[in-house]
Amino acid sequence: LFDELLDSSLDESSNELHPITYDCPSVIQIRYQGFKGILLLGNHLSGKDKDCEFRKSMKKFNYNGPDDFCVVDYSKPYTFGRLNTQIIMLLSSLGVPDDVFLKKQRQHFERLDLMFSDLSIAFEYLLTHGEINLAGELIEKGITRSIRDFLNKSYKQEMETSLKEKKGSSDTVPSEKSEKLRIIVKDSRLVFAASDPTK
């Protein structure tokens, strides 16, 4: 869940140090001075002489080290959700047929193969990996060498992580080994759940 607000003026000052040409994320996941959680970009703190606010529950431990503000993750407009083994087991126990998961898995591997020839699929994969510049290059020039290199790397990583062996507590007992799934679902988005702390 969402924790607190990040003042838009802090975003503006960071933009002066590191200029960007596209919109900033509305939600960021942070680590700061023993605090961890999610901050939301907004105007709630304007005129209050504050850069950001934290809930007491965000403080996990006391910290007297360097004054570093770390961004762990941030909201993106185009990031696919994924099915993993745990989610599939949960959905299956709730009555979702196995055929549904097999269809999603088949679609996942088909799209991986097609992203080298289908520009729309390649465009989606570039965006979901945050490769905005390569996505723009794809629109202007098609699949260039740099784009193909990135897609090849992504393809290899996806094939390795989409279906791999998960070992049990004893590597010597074959029956304790199972398969670990991580499948991209096209018609989904990865989102940050957030409440409005101003209300």
> What SS3 class is residue 43?
coil
For residues 148-162, give the mean pLDDT. Answer: 86
pLDDT at 3 over 50: no
pLDDT at 7 over 70: no
Token pair 């590191």 in the structure block, residue: 18
Nearest C-alpha neighbor of 69 from the set 136, 6, 162: 6
What local confidence, expressed as pLDDT, does residue 4 receive? 47
For residues 68-73, give the mean pLDDT. Answer: 82
pTM of the model: 0.56
What local confidence, expressed as pLDDT, does residue 174 receive? 40
Pick the more confident residue, 40 or 107: 107
d(CA 41, CA 98): 41
Q: From start to end of the chain, where are the E strands?
A: 4-7, 27-32, 35-42, 69-74, 81-84, 163-166, 178-185
